[in-house]
Amino acid sequence: MLGRIIGAAVGEKIAGRYGSGGKGMLIGALAPTLVRRAFGPLGLVLAGGYFAKKYYDGRRARRAATPPSEI
């Protein structure tokens, strides 16, 4: 239910650029279903890769920022 309400709001914003009518409602009703079916596993993989890269880049930046310790 909440997904459809959010989807309708997003659909209305998208359709607002291209005209008025029931387009926004139709896009909003179909968007959550399409996203769940098409981008569920793919989105999970992409999000995992994004966060892994952020972690890797942050770790590399921290190592470059710390001066080497003298023994």
Report how far residue 48's alpha carbon sits from residue 55's, in angstroms, rounded to the nearest whole number. 11
The number of angstroms, rounded, from the C-alpha of 32 to the middle of its chain's C-alpha atoms is 13
Tokens of 52: 């892994």
pTM of the full structure = 0.42
56 has pLDDT over 80: yes
67 has pLDDT over 90: no
Report how far residue 11's alpha carbon sits from residue 16's, in angstroms, rounded to the nearest whole number. 8
Q: Could you report the per-residue pLDDT of 1-46, keeping only the tens digit for each?
A: 666 677 667 767 766 666 566 666 676 677 677 777 767 777 788 8
